[in-house]
Structure formats: C-alpha cells, structure tokens
C-alpha cells in the first residue's frame, strides 16, 4: 500500500537557521505530494504541493521538489522565524478520489 | 467566518456513551472527510463522502459511523465510546470540480477525551 515516512521531531532551531524536513514515499502510479502545516491549536493548512516529477512547490519561503528517482519531497526553508513553529505533515494522494495518506508529522520549534 | 467549522471543539465523555461530532462547511465543496490524529501516527482517514448519497469507509472505520445530512454537513458518531478513541478529530473538504480536486481544507478540530 501507499505510505509516507518523514523524519521524527521535534526539530529545534534558532531563528534564521536553515530548515530541512525529510519526506519519502511509497506509492503506485504517480501521486500528488503535499506539505501541510498545523499551527498550535489549529487545523491543518496546505503549505505547498506538487503534482508531477520535478515540480517545485513553494509558499511563504518554503520549497519542496518532487523527486521521483528518490521518491522524496523534502521541505526546506532558508531562514526560519519563530512564527514557523508548528507541526509539518507530508502527504500524498494517489487515486482519483483525492484521499490523502499522511506521514506522522514533524514538530518544529524555532527559538529567538 | 471559518469555511469549515466543527462542533464541539472539546468534549469529555465516559466509556459507553454515544457521541456525535458535527462538521459544517460553507465552501460549497462536494467531498467531505473525517480524520483522527494521534501523536506519532499522523492523520488517519475514518470515513469520506463524495456526495450526500455516497459514503465510504476509510482506513480505521471500526467503532465509528457517519451521516451526510446535506452537502454542507457531515457528522461523525461514536456509538459506544471507548478510551482508545481519545484523539483529535478533523473534518476536511475538497472540491472535485476545481483545478485541485485533491487539495483538502481542514476544520479546527475536536478534541475528544473518553474516560
């Protein structure tokens, strides 16, 4: 079956540090890939997505590139802020029904 | 106003009680989903519905039932709550007719505690 594996947290960083969260997937066919973010006390929000190989999704300074050869979709941000403290979920959608398969989530804590 | 709302936001109940969690949306989306979130497990799909007449089981439907009362309303019921159903529950919607049918929009969640 389909699955998503992402690095365990918490990841603790200082403000302005570089952030990488690794995500790899297993899926049949050509899934769409997503990063969702969950701020404390809130629901999930779509951060970025990519629908085919070599696509780069970007939003709010975050980027992720769909790498089919390595089945990966790593999230990166060059300079994090305290406001980026949240839980980040990698997810895939591999069928026409649009169902999402989520990774376990990675908590990111950014300190001043 | 929020596009996807969930009630209640917090609920504490006892083992064996029947509980209903409600979700409403004003986005006009046809598809609705229920997930539960547990620490270290991410979100897992409980049920999903593609229109009022279409209900489908997800990955972990045992112990749960749903009702799609209208396009905008999708309720999740626990007929006889048990402690391992303690979790954070999310409702989500998506729009099949949009350019991004697999992009989901989430409600704020309901924190359920079963004692």
Closest chain B residue to the Cα of A40, Cα to Cα: B108
Length of chain A: 112
Is the per-residue pLDDT at A19 higher than 60? yes
Is the per-residue pLDDT at B101 higher than 80? no
Range with the poorest average pLDDT among A81-90, B48-57, B61-70, B98-107: B98-107
**Nearest-neighbour CA in chain A from B47: distance (Å):** 10
The model's confidence at residue B102, banded by pLDDT at 50, 70 and 90, is confident
- Whole-number pLDDT of residue A62: 98
Is the per-residue pLDDT at A20 higher than 80? yes
**Looking at the complex, does the CB of residue B104 fall below 8 Å from at least one CB of chain A?**
yes
The model's pLDDT over A23-62, given as tens digits with 9 standing for 90+, comes to: 999 998 889 999 999 998 888 999 999 998 999 999 999 9
Residues 69-108 of A with CB under 8 A from B: 89, 93, 97-100, 102-105
- Reading across the β-sheet that carries A56-59, which strands appear in turn? A19-21, A75-77, A62-65, A56-59
Token pair belonging to A108? 């990111």
Asked whether B19 and B110 are in contact (CB, 8 A), the reply is no
Of B99 and B69, the one with more pLDDT? B69
Q: Taking residues A92-109, what's their average pLDDT?
A: 89
The model's pLDDT over B6-27, given as tens digits with 9 standing for 90+, comes to: 999 999 999 999 999 999 999 9
The model's confidence at residue B35, banded by pLDDT at 50, 70 and 90, is very high
In chain A, residues with a C-beta closer than 8 Å to the C-beta of B94 are 98
Asked whether B89 and B19 are in contact (CB, 8 A), the reply is no
The model's pLDDT over A68-80, given as tens digits with 9 standing for 90+, comes to: 999 999 999 999 9
Percent of chain B topping pLDDT 70: 94
- Whole-number pLDDT of residue B1: 57
Backbone angles phi, psi at B38, to 5 degrees: -125, 145
- Whole-number pLDDT of residue B99: 65
Cα separation values, B5 from B9, B23, B80, B108, Å: 9, 6, 24, 7
Is the per-residue pLDDT at B98 higher than 80? no
Is the per-residue pLDDT at A8 higher than 60? yes
In this complex, do B42 and A42 lie within 8 Å of one another by their Cβ atoms?
A: no
Of A1, A27, A44, A102, which to mutate for an interface test with B (greatest number of B Cβ within 10 Å)? A44
Backbone angles phi, psi at A55, to 5 degrees: -65, 145
């Amino acid at each position: 079956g389909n699955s998503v594996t992402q690095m365990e947290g918490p990841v603790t960083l200082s403000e302005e540090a570089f952030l990488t969260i690794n995500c790899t997937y297993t899926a049949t066919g050509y899934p769409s890939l997503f990063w969702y973010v969950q701020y404390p006390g809130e629901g999930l929000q779509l951060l970025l997505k990519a629908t085919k190989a070599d696509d780069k999704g970007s939003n709010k300074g975050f980027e992720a590139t769909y790498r089919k050869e390595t089945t990966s979709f790593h999230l990166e941000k060059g300079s994090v802020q305290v406001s980026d403290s949240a839980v980040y979920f990698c997810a895939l959608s591999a069928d026409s029904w649009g169902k999402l398969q989520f990774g376990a989530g990675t908590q990111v804590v950014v300190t001043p | 106003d929020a596009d996807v709302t969930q009630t209640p936001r917090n609920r504490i109940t006892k083992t064996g009680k029947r509980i209903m969690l409600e979700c409403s949306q004003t986005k006009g989306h046809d598809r609705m989903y229920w997930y539960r979130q547990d620490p270290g497990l991410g979100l897992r799909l409980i049920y999903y519905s593609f229109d009022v007449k279409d209900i489908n089981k997800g990955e972990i439907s045992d112990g749960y039932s749903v009702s799609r009362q209208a396009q905008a309303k999708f309720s999740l019921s626990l007929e006889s709550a048990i402690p391992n159903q303690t979790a954070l529950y999310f409702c989500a919607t998506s729009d099949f007719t949009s350019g991004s049918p697999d992009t989901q929009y989430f409600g704020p969640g309901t924190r359920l505690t079963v004692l």
